[in-house]
Amino acid sequence: MTPGRAAGDGDDAGTAAARLTGRTVTHVRALSGALAEAGLDDGRTVMVKRGRDAREVGAEAAGLRWLADAGAVAVPQVHGHDTSWLVTERVPGGRPTRESATAFGAGLAALHAAGAPAFGAAPPGGSEDAYIGLAPLRNVPGDSWPRWFAEQRILPYLRGSVDAGTLRRVEAAVVEEVCARLPDLAGPAEPPARLHGDLWNGNVLWGDDHRAWLIDPAAHGGHRESDLAMLRLFGCPYLDEIVDGYQSVAPLAPGWRERVGLHQLFPLLVHTVLFGRGYGEQAIATARAVLSR
């Protein structure tokens, strides 16, 4: 190994898949610059993903295992990982049905109910420093959800947006007011839930058996309404059926619909940092709507 270089840094997807599964790779199909499918000599096809650094790869592997441990929603098996590569089970593509969406909602409720040690708790084996998409994410535990959500999920991305000039200081003050009023806006206290953490439609795969599978988590302990709010923010097939299935297992607290925008502030501000002014304007409009309720 070259001094100073981590294992796997010089690999391509096929070499990484062979090394991490212990199988001979028969073919590789690139899906993007960082993602490929690899066929193995035992007939399986696996997904091979290159991460930006060891923290990202380790956090995703730990998150997938933590979600799978709940036994509630289908999660691809982790076949192996190192400081650069993650190899997971491939999910054959399919389409959702109303029935499978309802079942997914029930499974998501059971996943959340599996719990976490604290708000902000990282998965076992995961790092305090992780990612949500391309943005850094810190998993710092806290006891009070309103204070933790403000300090660890809203304000860091708000400050980043102001520092970059994407949001004006006067606009940021609206979000800061939401943070100040969070104890009154948060609704009834809830225990820490086991969250996927980046639950937009693209991270829910529907298998050829119509089941929902969860991929690419930013898993941590959080408020269960946050996962549902992100599903609503970016759209998801049969969302009403998902919510109905969820409520059949674990009814949401009164007023949850009015709190959707509050929970959406986090992903909107992350997108503001990553993608610019359009999401910033949506975040400010959402904050004003939250304050007007």
Nearest CA to 239 out of 197, 195, 270, 204 is that of 204
pLDDT at 241 (0 to 100):
98
Which letter, b or e, does each residue of 144-153 get, where b requires 16 or more Cβ atoms within 10 Å of its Cβ?
ebbebbbbbb
| 163 contacts: CB under 8 Å, gap ≥ 6 | none
Domain CATH number, residue 243:
3.90.1200.10
What are the tens digits of pLDDT across the range 50-98? 999 999 999 999 999 999 999 999 999 999 999 999 999 999 999 999 9
Domain CATH number, residue 28:
3.30.200.20
Evaluate whether residue 6 is within a structural domain.
Answer: no
Q: Reduce the DSSP state of residue 25 to 3 states and report it.
A: strand
CA–CA–CA angle 109, 250, 266 (5° rounding)? 55
**Would you place residue 293 in the very low, low, confident or very high pLDDT band (cuts 50, 70, 90)?**
confident
Query: What type of residue sits at position 74?
Result: A
| Listed residues 89, 113, 134: the one ending a domain | 89
Which letter, b or e, does each residue of 64-96 get, where b requires 16 or more Cβ atoms within 10 Å of its Cβ?
bbbbbebebbbbbebbbbbbbbbbbbbbeeeeb
Q: Is 145 in the same domain as 253?
A: yes
Evaluate whether residue 3 is within a structural domain.
Answer: no
Q: Could you say which of 11, 198, 216, 227 is catalytic?
A: 198
Structure tokens at 70: 């709940």
Tell me phi and psi for residue 195, to 5 degrees: -95, 145
Catalytic residue at 53?
no
292 class by beta-carbon count within 10 Å (0-12 exposed, 13-18 middle, 19+ buried): exposed
- Element (DSSP H or E) covering residue 16: helix 13-21
User: pTM (2 decimals)?
Assistant: 0.94
Total count of residues recorded for the chain? 293
pLDDT at 41 (0 to 100):
97
Cβ–Cβ under 8 Å, residues 157 and 270: yes
Q: Is 227 in the same domain as 180?
A: yes
Q: Is 284 in the same domain as 201?
A: yes
Q: Is 71 in the same domain as 125?
A: no
Evaluate whether residue 8 is within a structural domain.
Answer: no
Task: Count Cβ atoms below 10 Å from residue 288 Cβ, excluding itself.
Answer: 15
- Could you give the angle at which helices 239-249 and 224-234 cross, rounded to 10 degrees? 170
3-class DSSP string for 176-196:
HHHHHCHHHHCCCCCCCEEEC
Query: What type of residue sits at position 96?
Result: P
| Listed residues 72, 89, 106: the one ending a domain | 89
Query: What type of residue sits at position 177?
Result: E
* pLDDT above 50: residue 45: yes
Q: Is 121 in the same domain as 209?
A: yes
Evaluate whether residue 2 is within a structural domain.
Answer: no
How many structural domains is the chain composed of? Answer: 2
| Listed residues 47, 65, 89: the one ending a domain | 89
What are the tens digits of pLDDT across the range 105-154? 999 999 999 999 999 999 999 989 999 999 999 999 999 999 999 999 99
Q: Is 178 in the same domain as 226?
A: yes
What are the tens digits of pLDDT across the range 144-200? 999 999 999 999 999 999 999 999 999 999 999 999 999 999 999 999 999 999 999
Structure tokens at 216: 């690419």
Evaluate whether residue 5 is within a structural domain.
Answer: no
* pLDDT above 60: residue 202: yes
What are the tens digits of pLDDT across the range 235-281? 899 999 999 999 999 999 999 999 999 999 999 999 999 999 999 99
Evaluate whether residue 25 is within a structural domain.
Answer: yes
Show the domain range for 39: 13-89
pLDDT at 125 (0 to 100):
92
Q: Is 223 in the same domain as 175?
A: yes
What are the tens digits of pLDDT across the range 95-115? 999 999 999 999 999 999 999
